[in-house]
Structure 1
Amino acid sequence: MTVTLHALSFAAHDPRRLARFWTGLLGREIDGDTGFRLRFLPADEPKIRQNQMHFDLTSESLDDQKRTVARALELGGRHIDIGQRPEEKHVVLADPEGNEFCVIEPGNDFLAGCGFVGAVACDGSQEAGYFWSEALGWPLVWDQDQETAIRSPHGGPKITWGGPPFTPKTGPNRLRFVLSGALPEVERLVALGATRLGTGDGQVAMTDPDGNEFSFVVRETAA
């Protein structure tokens, strides 16, 4: 298995400002054994809907949760309402460009041991979870009631798919995965259910079984 999850890319009107926000909030927490980085790319398109994926940040205590929220607000984030119920204890915020994320209350067993960035939570199908598990070689760590989750064997955050009902996808996603690997891996991904869209600048544009865009960076192999 030679495919790696290289990065999560954000389409940004002001990439430097957005990078400052997330670096200030996360530091290097998401980088490490998984090789998982953040990338901020310039884009002119407006944000017109709730993102298909978002971060779930963990808390060690209620005071820790409050500190994370306060830090996010200080850096330029804001509270938002996406229909969360009053009894829910997580806090829903958005970064300076409106990208949603959650600060989860302490004691969440599902995210225990995952670190500060507990999960990349995706609006997607069980089929998408199976695809990404096979694509990355990350085992399924949850598979119940059409909800799935995978995690790198090296640890780090989970990637989760919540199952139906799905938010309608209108236009390209602002957040998308960036993979890297040898060129023959592209055909393997297609066989697993991906669709190849086009090639340029050493990258292959693709979509997963749910139609979510991702990029595959072709890694040169030794002669």
Structure 2
Amino acid sequence: MATRLAHLVVDARQPPVLAAFWSGLLGWEVVPEDEADVEGAVTVRAPKADGCGLSLVFVPAPGPKTAKNRVHLDLASASPERQRSIVDDALARGATTADIGQTAVPWVVLADPEGNEFCVLEPREEYAGTGALAAVVVDVREPAVLGEFWSSVSGWDVVRRHSQFVSLREPGRRGPWLELLRNEDAEHTGSRWRLAVSAEPGESPGAGVTDPEGNEIPVVAPV
């Protein structure tokens, strides 16, 4: 079984357009086309200064988004003014406000140009050193079970346990957190954003791996 969290695979009707949105918003770089593993895919990678080993890989997919995503991104901010600036920047780049039943909360929920939800967080101490991306958030039915699974698969450490969530971090405590959030309706959420893992030496990349809740995990070539 693969043992490294590699990147997020994102289904997109227009990969170059969505990649441009996210690279601009996060301040990440678009990888040259000749490095893509999938024809038509576009990869967006964090700068080394962010210490983030993850990347976003936008792959061509027909049809629009039809359900709330199981996986979404939380963006970090260092002050209320910075939070507002990130929101304004996202809206200027084509994002829209989104209502997922969040009521009165200190974070702002938006959707990217293809309707994928993401949050711009208020300042939080635990996310102070993550760079632009605070966390990758995954809706799950059983956080404790999925926490142990993803820790074993990714090599990341479980750093917080709660009845409603489990948090993981890369061993060097660099880059974003992986937050597994309890959602009883997780099985009904969409799968246009998927966590991918690197293949072990001698293991062939491909699909066919699933987590304990039956969600597909792409296995990609070592990065």
TM, length-normalised to structure 1:
0.82
* 1:120 equivalent among 127, 136, 150: 136
Based on CA coordinates, which of the two structures has the bigger radius of gyration?
A: 1
Q: Give me the TM-score of the superposition, normalised by structure 2.
A: 0.82
Q: Provide the residue aligned with 1:132 in structure 2.
A: 150
CA distance in 1, matches of 2:89, 2:222: 37
The 8 Å contact of residues 71 and 193 in structure 2, kept in 1 or not, is answered as yes
Structure 2 unaligned spans of 5+: 29-44
1:215 counterpart residue number:
218
Alignment counterpart, residue 148 of structure 1, candidates 162, 166, 181: 166
Q: Does 1:44 align with 2:47?
A: no
Q: Which residue does the alignment assign to 1:59?
A: 77
Identity %: 39
**Which blocks of at least 5 consecutive residues in structure 1 are unaligned?**
187-198
* CA distance in 2: counterparts of 1:218 and 1:30, whole angstroms: 19
Deviations 1:160-189, CA, capped at 9 Å, x for gaps: 11124333426x6000112113256x7xxx
Code of the residue aligned with 2:59 in structure 1: it is: L
**Following the alignment from structure 1 to structure 2, what is the Cα–Cα distance between the partners of residues 103 and 2?**
31
Q: Pick from 173, 176, 200: which aligns with 1:182?
A: 200
1:177-211 deviation line (CA, Å, top 9, x unaligned)? 12113256x7xxxxxxxxxxxx7xx4233221122
Question: Closer, same or farther in 2 for the Cα pair 1:218/1:63, shift >3 Å?
Answer: closer
Cα pair distance change 1:2/1:178, threshold 3 Å: closer
- Summarize the Cα distance change of 1:151–1:181 in structure 2 as closer, same or farther, 3 Å threshold: same
The correspondence for 1:105, drawn from 122, 136, 152, is 122
Per-residue CA deviation, residues 81-129 of structure 1 (Å, 9 max, x unaligned), is 111112x1100000000000000012x2342322221100110122112
Partner of 2:113 in structure 1? Answer: 96
Q: 1:166 aligns with which of 176, 185, 204?
A: 185
For the residues of structure 1 that align with 2:63 and 2:53, how far apart are their CA atoms?
Answer: 28
Moved over 6 A (4+): none
Partner of 2:24: 24
